[in-house]
């Protein structure tokens, strides 16, 4: 198992700042609503409540996911990040619905807006801070493979889009005095953030359900292809699970059947070393050793093998599709197509 506790701690600290800044921005938006009496500004302020709740949920999930494995959680606590991200996506959708309800009410009943210039300055400032903080959160999350930080960042940036809509509507209303415009613009951006919320929920569900990640598998296969040893005959039945910023990799490695245990274990360690040296992910491996079969001779590069039964034909390059298949690979020499056999 390769872990980086320092990374978990820095992620936790960063998320804590997101939560604290979220509270400060919420107070600023409440002030803007108090000055302007704008329903759209009020809706933006209410969405900030979702930001605060989501930030503290993310903070808790980072704390929990950094805890070591125990008897009740043999794979660790990393999947809590997918759960909290899903809840965060749901909250974003709820905020969108809330904005829609408020905007429709404004359209139906109408409302005057006061001190629009003050509202523009305050709301614009909160939007800029949110966007910068969201950008930093996404970049840090991508760099350290933290779904919580990525989700928080996207949430903050979606809130920025909403805030931009509020600013635009306030500017238009300031010059036109058409108070219904800010409600219409709020409706448009409410739909946008609901789409963002849906995408976050979709990604969190894929993580909870251990949905295969073709890009991750392809990267894994590419790294091993580029560093392939001649006695790594075959790689199959590969599964990659994501637990927060950690990966758990199960795979079957086919080796010459006459290798003694020490030699076979050394080959497994070489596979692990290659992957560790070419990724920044925290990883846990579970490699299973398989013995070669007579049909393996056709794809085996050990040309001076003392027990070879068939001539070498060609290598089967590993890719995301074939390393995830359950069976060992073989060639169908009758038509030179790729085949499979247990």
The model's pLDDT over 19-44, given as tens digits with 9 standing for 90+, comes to: 888 888 889 888 988 888 787 787 77
Tell me the CATH architecture of domain 5-208.
Up-down Bundle (1.20)
Task: Decide if 62 contacts 4 (C-beta within 8 A).
Answer: no
pTM tops 0.85, yes or no: no
Q: What is the residue extent of each domain of the chain?
A: 5-208, 214-341
Per CATH, the number for 214-341 is 3.30.70.1350
Instruction: Work out the pLDDT band at 255, boundaries 50, 70, 90.
Output: very high
Taking CA atoms, 53 is separated from 87, 132, 149, 230, 245, in Å, by 10, 19, 14, 53, 22
**Cα→Cα distances 173→38, 102, 185, 340, Å:** 11, 17, 11, 68
For the segment 310-334, what is each residue's pLDDT rounded down to a tens digit? 999 998 888 888 888 888 888 875 3
What is the percentage of the chain residues whose pLDDT exceeds 90? 8
- What long-range pairs does 72-76 form, CB within 8 A, spacing at least 24? 75/241, 75/243, 75/248, 75/284, 76/243, 76/244, 76/246
Q: Which one has a higher pLDDT value, 266 or 4?
A: 266
Tell which wins on pLDDT, 233 or 58.
233
Q: What is the pLDDT of residues 50-100, one digit of tens each?
A: 777 777 776 776 666 666 666 665 555 556 666 667 777 787 788 788 778
Does residue 192 carry a pLDDT above 50?
yes
Domains 5-208 and 214-341 share a fold: no
């Amino acid at each position: 198992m390769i872990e980086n506790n320092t990374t978990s701690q820095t992620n936790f600290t960063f998320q804590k700042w997101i939560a604290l800044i979220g509270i400060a921005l919420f107070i600023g938006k409440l002030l803007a609503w108090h000055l302007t009496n704008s329903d759209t500004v009020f809706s933006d302020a209410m969405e900030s409540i979702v930001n605060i709740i989501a930030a503290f949920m993310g903070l808790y999930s980072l704390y929990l996911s950094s805890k070591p494995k125990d008897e009740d959680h043999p794979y660790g606590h990393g999947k809590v990040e997918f759960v909290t991200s899903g809840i965060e996506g749901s909250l974003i959708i709820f905020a969108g619905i809330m904005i829609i309800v408020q905007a429709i009410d404004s359209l139906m009943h109408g409302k005057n807006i006061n001190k629009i210039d003050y509202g523009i300055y305050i709301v614009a400032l909160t939007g800029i801070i949110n966007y910068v903080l969201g950008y930093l959160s996404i970049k840090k999350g991508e760099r350290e493979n933290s779904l919580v930080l990525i989700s928080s960042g996207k949430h903050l940036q979606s809130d920025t889009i909403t805030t931009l809509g509020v600013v635009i509507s306030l500017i238009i209303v300031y010059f036109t005095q058409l108070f219904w415009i800010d409600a219409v613009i709020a409706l448009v951006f409410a739909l946008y953030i609901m789409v963002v919320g849906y995408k976050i929920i979709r990604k969190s569900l894929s993580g909870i359900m251990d949905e295969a990640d073709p890009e991750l598998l392809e990267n894994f296969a590419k790294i091993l292809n580029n560093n392939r040893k001649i006695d790594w005959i075959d790689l199959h039945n590969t599964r990659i699970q994501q637990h927060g910023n950690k990966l758990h990799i199960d795979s079957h490695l086919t080796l010459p059947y006459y290798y003694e245990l020490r030699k076979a274990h050394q080959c497994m360690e070489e596979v692990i070393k290659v992957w560790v040296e070419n990724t920044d992910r925290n990883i846990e491996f579970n490699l299973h050793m398989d013995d070669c079969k007579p049909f393996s001779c056709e794809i085996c590069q050990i040309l001076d093998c003392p027990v070879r039964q068939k001539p070498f034909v060609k290598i089967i390059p590993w890719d995301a599709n074939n390393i995830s298949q359950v069976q060992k690979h073989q060639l169908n020499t009758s038509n030179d197509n790729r085949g499979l056999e247990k």
